[in-house]
């Protein structure tokens, strides 16, 4: 019996959050005295797949089918179920992201497995199989005990530290008997943002709100993000006003992120926005209103006009980099 972990890739490149999932699976496997089998779909070079061995995957099942380059929830589910049956897997790990949310509930339903969405801890096996997760938009925590024979865990990305080792992995090709329904939805076109730091993978994020006063001032956010090597994000009013694209919107009705550093500029800190970012390890707030609610959630705060603070902060980062 192997712990199964669903590994995603972006056009053949495996991102950090997937190494995190494999490392998490490895931690569980060690406690249970078993191994980790990763499952990866689509066209990926063996050299890239072999990287998974350094994070604890003893085996990788590769479903090498060009149709799996884009998300097909039914086909992904069929592939994962085939791998689970082959390996006798009873614990399945996915990420709590777009692909994970499309696949994990389907797998859990097929297996009649208990499901935890947004795991924040390793399971406490001394008390059963208890996992901590956030509830009520991150304002409280729940401890869920999965009692079913098979268990599906969806991890919150950027939650668990990873350690690279010298471990190796064995790659096996897995043939899946797909049905016509598995590819019932035809994908005509996929548009992806290029040339930017991916928000979901970013460890540093600079985000702006209505305090930026207009899209013409957004270069100040972008300049700071460029110097930091950070992704850019925004609040909902900003995306609603078409100052920024929707994919940058974080909050209760947008994306949920957990970067190491989140810099909020001109964002008041409404509960809907906090729900998407309160898992950040460090929060810095820049706002000219000293009574802005966001300051209560901040680790550090700067009271001042963003139009004045941002250029000075960007210049300070440049000087710091020059003297490193």
Task: Grade residue 196 by pLDDT with cuts at 50, 70 and 90.
Answer: low
Could you give the percent of the chain with pLDDT greater than 90?
Answer: 78
**Model confidence, pTM:** 0.84
> Which pLDDT score, from 0 to 100, does residue 72 have?
93
Rounded-to-10 torsion of CA 231, 233, 239, 243: -60
Please tell me the distance from the alpha carbon of residue 286 to that of residue 265, in angstroms, as a whole number. 5
> Which pLDDT score, from 0 to 100, does residue 194 have?
58
Reported for 44-50, long-range contacts at CB under 8 A and 24+ positions apart, including other chains, are: 44/9, 44/12, 44/14, 45/12, 46/171, 48/9, 48/12, 48/13, 48/14, 49/14, 49/169, 49/171, 50/168, 50/169, 50/171
290 vs 139, residue with greater confidence: 290
Is the pLDDT assigned to residue 41 strictly greater than 90?
Answer: yes
- Which backbone phi and psi does 78 adopt, to 5 degrees? -60, -45
What pairs with residue 263 in β-bridges?
A: 206, 284
Domains of the chain: 2-183 (3.40.50.620), 204-322 (3.40.50.1220)
Is the pLDDT assigned to residue 138 strictly greater than 80?
Answer: no
139 vs 317, residue with greater confidence: 317
User: Which ranges of 150-262 would DSSP assign to H, the alpha helix?
Assistant: 219-228, 236-240
Please tell me the distance from the alpha carbon of residue 300 to that of residue 294, in angstroms, as a whole number. 10
Q: What's the whole-number mean pLDDT along residues 202-228? A: 95
Q: Which residue, among 213, 220, 221, has the nearest Cα to 238 in the 3D structure?
A: 213
> Which pLDDT score, from 0 to 100, does residue 279 have?
86
Is the pLDDT assigned to residue 253 strictly greater than 90?
Answer: no
**pLDDT per residue as tens digits for the range 254-273:** 888 889 999 999 999 988 89
Q: What's the whole-number mean pLDDT along residues 40-68? A: 96
Please tell me the distance from the alpha carbon of residue 111 to that of residue 152, in angstroms, as a whole number. 9
> Which pLDDT score, from 0 to 100, does residue 301 have?
96
Q: What's the whole-number mean pLDDT along residues 106-119? A: 97
Residue-averaged pLDDT of the chain? 93
Size of the chain, expressed as the number of residues it contains: 324
CB 124 within 8 A of CB 130: yes
């Amino acid at each position: 019996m192997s712990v199964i972990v669903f590994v995603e890739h972006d056009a053949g490149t495996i991102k950090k959050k997937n190494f995190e999932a494999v490392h998490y699976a490895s931690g569980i496997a060690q406690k249970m005295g078993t191994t980790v089998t990763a499952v990866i779909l689509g066209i990926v070079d063996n050299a890239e797949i072999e990287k998974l061995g350094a994070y604890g995957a003893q085996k990788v099942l590769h479903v090498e089918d060009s149709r799996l380059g884009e998300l097909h929830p039914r086909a992904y589910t069929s592939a994962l179920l085939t791998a689970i049956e082959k390996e006798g897997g009873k614990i399945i790990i996915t990420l709590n992201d777009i692909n994970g949310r499309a696949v994990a509930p389907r797998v859990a339903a097929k297996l009649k497995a208990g499901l935890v969405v947004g795991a924040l801890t390793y399971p406490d096996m001394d008390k059963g199989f208890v996992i901590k997760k956030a509830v009520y938009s991150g304002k409280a925590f729940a401890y869920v005990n999965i009692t079913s024979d098979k268990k599906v865990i969806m991890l919150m990305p950027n939650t668990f530290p990873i350690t690279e080792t010298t471990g190796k992995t064995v790659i096996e090709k897995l043939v899946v008997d797909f049905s016509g329904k598995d590819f019932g939805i035809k994908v005509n076109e996929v548009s992806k943002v290029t040339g930017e730091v991916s928000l979901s993978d970013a460890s540093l994020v600079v985000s702006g709100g209505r305090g930026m006063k207009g899209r013409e001032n957004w270069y100040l956010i972008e300049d700071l993000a460029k110097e930091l090597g950070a992704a850019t994000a925004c609040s909902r009013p900003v995306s609603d006003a078409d100052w920024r694209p929707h994919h940058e919107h974080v909050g209760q009705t947008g994306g949920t992120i957990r970067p190491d550093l989140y810099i909020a500029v001109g964002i008041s800190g409404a509960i809907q926005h906090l729900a998407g970012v309160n898992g950040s390890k460090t929060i810095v707030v820049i706002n000219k209103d000293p009574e802005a609610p966001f300051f209560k959630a901040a680790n550090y705060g700067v009271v001042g006009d963003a139009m004045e603070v941002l250029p000075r902060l960007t210049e300070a980062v440049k000087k710091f980099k020059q003297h490193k």
